[in-house]
Amino acid sequence: MKYIIAVIQPDRLEEVLRILEEKEIHLVTVSSVLGRGRQKGISEVYRGHKEGGRLLKKVKLEIAVNEEFVKSTVDAIKEGARTGHIGDGKVFVLDLQECFRIRTGETGKDAIG
């Protein structure tokens, strides 16, 4: 199992979710976050509102998937979020040790999707 974390531009969220749904990936956590990349929030200001401390508004997606969905999930995010401009975002793929569905007691592969 993998835990996929992506930080993207807020105005790309809708398109990323649309492509994820097309690929049957429906379970997702979405947060509004502040962040900065290698431009340290400076050159990118024209794409968003500047916050104190040179942090820019971003959207974070978190998706836990079985191995067979890793590639399609990452591809969907990359496709939906890419404009070719700085600040398009990043995707991180982490090993996921365990997952529990609280209601049923299922674990692992059964609990994840």
List interacting residues with ligand ATP (CB under 6 A): 7, 35-39, 56, 58, 86-90
Whichever of 2 and 58 has its CB closer to ligand ATP, that residue is 58
Q: Is residue 58 within 8 Å of residue 30, measured between CB atoms?
A: no
Question: Nearest-CB residue to ligand ATP?
Answer: 35
Beta-bridge partners for 30: 61
Helix (H) or strand (E) holding 70: helix 70-81
Token reading at 69: 């969905």
Whichever of 80 and 87 has its CB closer to ligand ATP, that residue is 87
The pattern of x and - marking residues 54 through 93 that bind Mg ion according to CB under 5 A reads --------------------------------xx------
Exactly one of 13, 15, 23, 37 binds Mg ion (CB under 5 A); that residue is 37
Q: For residues 113 and 107, what is the distance between their CA atoms, to the nearest angstrom? A: 11
- Main-chain dihedrals φ then ψ at residue 27, nearest 5 degrees: -90, 120
Q: What does the binding site for Mg ion look like in residue numbers (CB under 5 A)?
A: 37, 39, 86-87
